[in-house]
Each structure stands twice: as C-alpha cells, then as structure tokens.
Amino acid sequence: MKLRKLFATGAALLTAVTVAGCGGKAETTAAAVPPPVSPADLAKVTLKVGDQKGNIQTLLTAAGQLGQPYRIEWATFTSGPPLLEAASAGAVDIGGVGNTPPIFAAAAGAKINVVSAARGDVKGDALLVPSDSPVRDVRELRGKTIGVAKGSSAHGQLLYNLRDAGLSTKDVKISFLQPADAYSAFTQHQLDAWAIWDPYTAQAKLETSARVLVDGTRTANGFTFQVAGVNALGDAGKNAAIRDYVVRVAKAQRWADTHRPEWAAAWAKETGLKPEVALAAVQNGPDQPVALDDEVVRSEQELADAFSADRTLPGKVDFAKFVDRRFGPDLEASNR
C-alpha cells in the first residue's frame, strides 16, 4: 500500500493532480550539515511539513508518534509534484512523495534533497482493464487508450510495462488524467486500460470488478521518499527537527506493518475510503523503511533514464545529485 500517492474523500476519491514542469539536465547544491542545537532551541522550531490527505499526519497519529519536541505546521497537497515545488521554494520544509515526483523536480532544477526512503509492496501498482475487456496481454494494448496521471509513479511503471512487452508510449494512446477523472472514464469504458496505484486499484477491483492485466511485481521499484528543501537542511534548528521527524516516520511505518487492521481503520476514517477498500490496500503491505543506499539511487536513475528515453523529460537527470544521506545513521539506529 503506497502512502506516496494521492488521497481524497468520497466514493470516487476526488482529487486533483498537478505535474511539475521539467527542463534539461539540472544540478542542485546540497546544504552543509549545520551544528546541533540545544533542546531549548529545538523547542522553538516550527517544522513545515507537506502532506497528502490520509498520509503521514494520519499515520503518525495512529502510531502514537506525534509527541515531538518542536511544533509541526501541516500543509496538505493533492500530489507530490506541487508539494516538491513548495519545498523548493521554502514554503514547506519536508514532505513525503513517491518514486517519480523527485525525478520531475530534479529535472526542473528544484532545490530539494531526498533524505530518507521506504519501500512498499507493488501488487497495488497495476495496469487495470475493465472486467469485460478482451485484452489479456499488454501487447494487445497496441493502438488502445490508457489513462495515467502524468509524472506519477504509475506513469513510470507504465513505461516499464510497455517496454517489457516490446512496446513504447508511441504504440498506444495515453490520456493524462487525474485519478478521479480516470476512474470515471474507466468505469464508462472511455479507457481501454488504466495505470494506477492503491487505494484506487483496490477500489476499482472491489467496486467495478476491474481486472489486473499486470502489476508492478517485475517492474515497479516501490520506493517512497521524504524530501526536504535545501534551505531547511541548511538551517540548524530545522535540520535537527527533520532528523527527528524522519525517524518518527520510519517508526510509524514499522508500526503500520504490524498493526494493519488498526492502520486501515485510521486511514479509512480520515479519507472516507470504504473500510473494505482500505483494508484490501493495506493488506498489500505498508511502506517499510529502507536504507537510502546506492541500490535505491541506481533504481531511481534507471527510472529517470526511462523518462528521458521516452522524451517525457528532455535531457538527463543525475538523481544522485539530489540525494542527501546525512540522516542514515539515525535511521539505522532507530531500527535496533
């Protein structure tokens, strides 16, 4: 189950998607690690956190991890790209996103750094077809219309699934749609297929009997990230708060894995998801903390290169230049 995604209330999970602009190869300057601050100074910090409805704030609350020694000011976004725009501009200090928004942000020259990583099961990352569709293989989608949110993790997975079947985006008709609009189009048979993620996958399967043509088992990397603004990382007080915050997120993620029914109930209550939809999505497995290591960077670089090769991104992104591993020892220690 991916907390990296878009969340909203209502039966159709109404939400909007904004995709960051992108340019050629861009670089960012990592902030120097500032000195530690005293507990008294940390108590004066207000950490501005970008979130998506039903995401980290709900998770931290459910896991009992909101007893931090600084103030958190929450800002809700509909998706990862505008959240990262805000982080780059200093409007928020940190926020959680999926595997693709940092790539688009990097291409746009955003002043952001990925500071921690998690990984979830990718069964909920699916390419769906209607229950009565004659399509049984991805290769049969040649010339057909596929809905996907541009710049989302589903967009990257769609590239991989098509490539795995010997196709490219030029062999299909891609309709860039917000998830709510795509859900409506999918149920009205205006789309031949829909590349999407949980909880939308679970919702479509339970409410429309949608069929999974292929999931992300062999293609999606399943990564999610906490991404901070470079200016926030350079501020001693905010850096100390971010250090504490990412550890609390990691602890909450581990809690969710061992308390799936409780987490599903909290998620459903906050978002308006049907309890059975939330539970089905959660049973795929909550995101779990992983080291922000070379393997993560390599996998993300491959995804960035796939977007460049498809010319969705002009030029090439060097993902490693947007990674800051300063909190690695703290995150490792939190799991002992």
- pLDDT tens column, 208-230: 999 999 998 878 888 999 999 99
The pLDDT assigned to 121 comes to: 81
Specify the DSSP class assigned to residue 171. G
The pLDDT assigned to 22 comes to: 38
Which pair of tokens denotes residue 50? 């970008």
Q: What's the pLDDT band for 13 if we cut at 50, 70, 90?
A: very low
The yes-or-no verdict on residue 17 having pLDDT over 70 is no
Burial of 89-108, coded b for 16+ CB within 10 Å and e otherwise, reads eeebbbbbbbbbbbbbbbbb
The stretch 98-109 carries a mean pLDDT of 92
The yes-or-no verdict on residue 34 having pLDDT over 70 is yes
The pLDDT assigned to 265 comes to: 95
Q: Which residues pair with 225 in a beta bridge?
A: 97, 117
| CB 81 within 8 Å of CB 254 | no
Q: Which residue has the higher pLDDT, 282 or 304?
A: 304
The pLDDT assigned to 125 comes to: 87
CA-CA distance, 124 to 5, in Å (whole number)?
A: 11
Q: What's the pLDDT band for 253 if we cut at 50, 70, 90?
A: very high
The stretch 148-164 carries a mean pLDDT of 88
The yes-or-no verdict on residue 307 having pLDDT over 80 is yes
Q: Which residue has the higher pLDDT, 331 or 20?
A: 331
Specify the DSSP class assigned to residue 279. H
The yes-or-no verdict on residue 19 having pLDDT over 50 is no
Neighbours of 258 (CB within 10 A): 9
The stretch 121-132 carries a mean pLDDT of 91
How many distinct helices (H) and strands (E) make up the chain?
Answer: 13, 11
Q: Domains in the chain and their CATH numbers?
A: 39-121+222-333 (3.40.190.10), 126-215 (3.40.190.10)
- pLDDT tens column, 163-176: 999 999 999 999 99
Q: Say if residue 175 is exposed, middle or buried (CB neighbours under 10 Å; 0-12, 13-18, 19+).
A: middle
| CB 5 within 8 Å of CB 195 | no
Which pair of tokens denotes residue 128? 């769906």
The pLDDT assigned to 6 comes to: 39
The stretch 173-180 carries a mean pLDDT of 91
Residue type, 308: S
In this structure, what is the dihedral angle of CA atoms 293, 297, 300, 305, given to the nearest 10 degrees?
-160
The stretch 254-273 carries a mean pLDDT of 93
Helices (H), the chain: 39-42, 56-62, 80-89, 101-107, 153-164, 179-187, 200-208, 230-234, 236-258, 260-271, 275-282, 294-309, 328-333
CA-CA distance, 216 to 219, in Å (whole number)?
A: 5
CA-CA distance, 296 to 294, in Å (whole number)?
A: 5
The pLDDT assigned to 18 comes to: 32
| CB 120 within 8 Å of CB 222 | yes
| CB 285 within 8 Å of CB 120 | yes
Which pair of tokens denotes residue 292? 């922000």
Q: Which residue has the higher pLDDT, 226 or 124?
A: 226
Half-sphere exposure of 225 (CA within 13 A, CB side): 30
Q: Which residue has the higher pLDDT, 181 or 16?
A: 181
- Which residue in 35, 71, 87 sits closest to 232, CA to CA? 87
The stretch 150-175 carries a mean pLDDT of 90
CA-CA distance, 188 to 181, in Å (whole number)?
A: 11
Mean pLDDT of the chain: 88
The pLDDT assigned to 29 comes to: 55
Weakest-pLDDT range from 73-77, 78-82, 97-101: 78-82
